[in-house]
């Protein structure tokens, strides 16, 4: 599968964006509404005008129309055809390309199995499909033509939390199995931490920082990135001592806490604000990481 390379992308919102997505990588573009995340997806897909260069697998595609860029795109709105069955929705892109019917049937049947949709194959989207099932149909349709890259624009935004989390894990499993280069847009930092190999933080049409979630969480490049991730309290470790497999006691300038331990030296720990509880009285629960000040 190809990598994606963006060089000097400019338009009505993007401000000279440079970005590389490696082969088989799942990159999450994280940012608030209006940051330019969807616009950047549209640039990759060829759906909006821009200056600069887009390359897939090292080949410039700037002069290619969307249909020839071999990109699968899953929009926020599922855009399923209400007059077509699940089976026909999934096979639509294949038939539009004029592939033999036998090839279409084989590919659709494979995807029905992959997405566990066999029992829904003859149903219509607006008759008896849940939001999660519609999303799986839309994703199967996007993958049916075997695109070189997959673009996902907040695909689980309209689903309940439990269904969305389940589908994120399912998507990650399928993405790994197919080894397809993927760009995933979200404004939710927890979603980004679950999905991403690499995160690109976007703000006002520019990429503020790229890296793993751990890199960005512990070492935000500026105030905006820190605010987006929720102002973690980053504390330097003075010394630490392993207590048992997977756990260590950490000294933070006189405050001693227990922290997860993977065998590597501990230099910093991050404590999210929502994990701090203040009380005048002795709080309920275990005494682990309870500090009197």
- Whether residue 145 is predicted with pLDDT greater than 90 in this model: the reply is yes
Residue 210 confidence (pLDDT): 97
d(Cα 252, Cα 60) in Å, to the nearest integer? 51
d(Cα 71, Cα 214) in Å, to the nearest integer? 29
Upper half-sphere CA count for residue 86 (Cβ side, 13 Å): 26
Q: Which tens digits make up the pLDDT trace of 146-170?
A: 999 999 999 888 788 888 888 899 8
Which of 126-130, 202-206, 243-247 has the highest mean predicted lDDT (pLDDT)?
A: 202-206
Residue 165 confidence (pLDDT): 87
Which strands form 51-56's sheet, in the order they lie side by side?
15-21, 4-10, 51-56, 59-60
d(Cα 216, Cα 198) in Å, to the nearest integer? 10
Which of 94-98, 235-239, 242-246 has the highest mean predicted lDDT (pLDDT)?
A: 94-98
Q: Which tens digits make up the pLDDT trace of 29-51?
A: 999 999 999 999 999 999 999 99
Residue 1 confidence (pLDDT): 46
Q: Which residues, 6 or more positions from 34, have their beta carbon under 8 angstroms from its beta carbon?
A: 204
User: What is the model's pTM?
Assistant: 0.79
Give CA 256 to chain center in angstroms: 35
- Distances, alpha carbon 96 to alpha carbons 89, 130, 144, 204, 240, in Å: 11, 27, 12, 37, 61
Give CA 108 to chain center in angstroms: 25
pLDDT band per the 50, 70, 90 thresholds, residue 293: low
- Distances, alpha carbon 153 to alpha carbons 105, 243, 286, in Å: 28, 44, 42
* Domain 4-228 indexed as CATH 3.40.50.20: no
Q: Which helix (H) or strand (E) holds 39?
A: helix 37-45
Average pLDDT, the chain: 90
Delimit the domains of the chain by residue range: 4-228, 232-293
* Angle, CA 32 vertex, CA 27 and CA 38 arms, to 5°: 55
Q: Which tens digits make up the pLDDT trace of 11-20?
A: 999 999 999 9
144 closest CA partner among 203, 73, 209: 73
Residue 237 confidence (pLDDT): 85
253 — alpha (psi -120 to 50), left (phi > 0) or beta?
left
Q: Which helix (H) or strand (E) holds 232?
A: none
pLDDT band per the 50, 70, 90 thresholds, residue 258: confident
Judged by average pLDDT, the poorest of 67-71, 106-110, 161-165 is 161-165
pLDDT band per the 50, 70, 90 thresholds, residue 276: confident
Query: How is residue 76 written in tokens?
Result: 């926020």
């Amino acid at each position: 599968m190809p990598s994606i390379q963006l060089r000097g992308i400019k338009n009505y919102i993007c401000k000279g964006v440079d970005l590389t997505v490696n082969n088989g990588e799942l990159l999450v573009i994280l940012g608030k509404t209006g940051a330019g995340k969807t616009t950047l997806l549209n640039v990759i897909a060829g759906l909006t005008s821009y200056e600069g260069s887009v390359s897939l697998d090292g080949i410039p595609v700037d002069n290619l129309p969307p249909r020839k860029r071999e990109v699968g795109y899953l929009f926020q709105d599922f855009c399923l055809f209400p007059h077509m069955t699940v089976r026909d929705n999934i096979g639509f892109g294949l038939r539009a390309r004029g592939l033999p019917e036998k090839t279409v049937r084989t590919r659709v049947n494979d995807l029905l199995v992959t997405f566990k949709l066999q029992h829904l194959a003859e149903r219509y989207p607006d008759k008896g499909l849940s939001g999660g099932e519609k999303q799986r149909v839309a994703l199967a349709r996007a993958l049916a033509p075997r695109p070189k890259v997959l673009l996902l624009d907040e695909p689980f935004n309209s689903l309940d939390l439990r269904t969305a989390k389940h589908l994120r894990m399912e998507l990650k499993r399928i993405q790994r199995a197919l080894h397809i280069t993927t760009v995933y847009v979200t404004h939710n930092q927890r979603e980004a931490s679950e999905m991403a190999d690499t995160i690109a933080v976007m703000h006002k049409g520019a990429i503020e920082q790229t890296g793993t979630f751990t890199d960005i969480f512990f070492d935000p490049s500026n105030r905006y990135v820190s605010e987006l991730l929720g102002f973690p309290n980053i504390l330097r470790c003075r010394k630490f001592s392993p207590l048992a497999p997977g756990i260590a006691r950490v000294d933070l300038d006189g405050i001693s806490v227990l922290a997860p331990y993977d065998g590597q030296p501990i230099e910093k720990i991050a404590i999210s604000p929502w994990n701090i509880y203040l009380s005048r009285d002795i709080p309920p629960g275990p005494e682990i990481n309870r500090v009197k000040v």
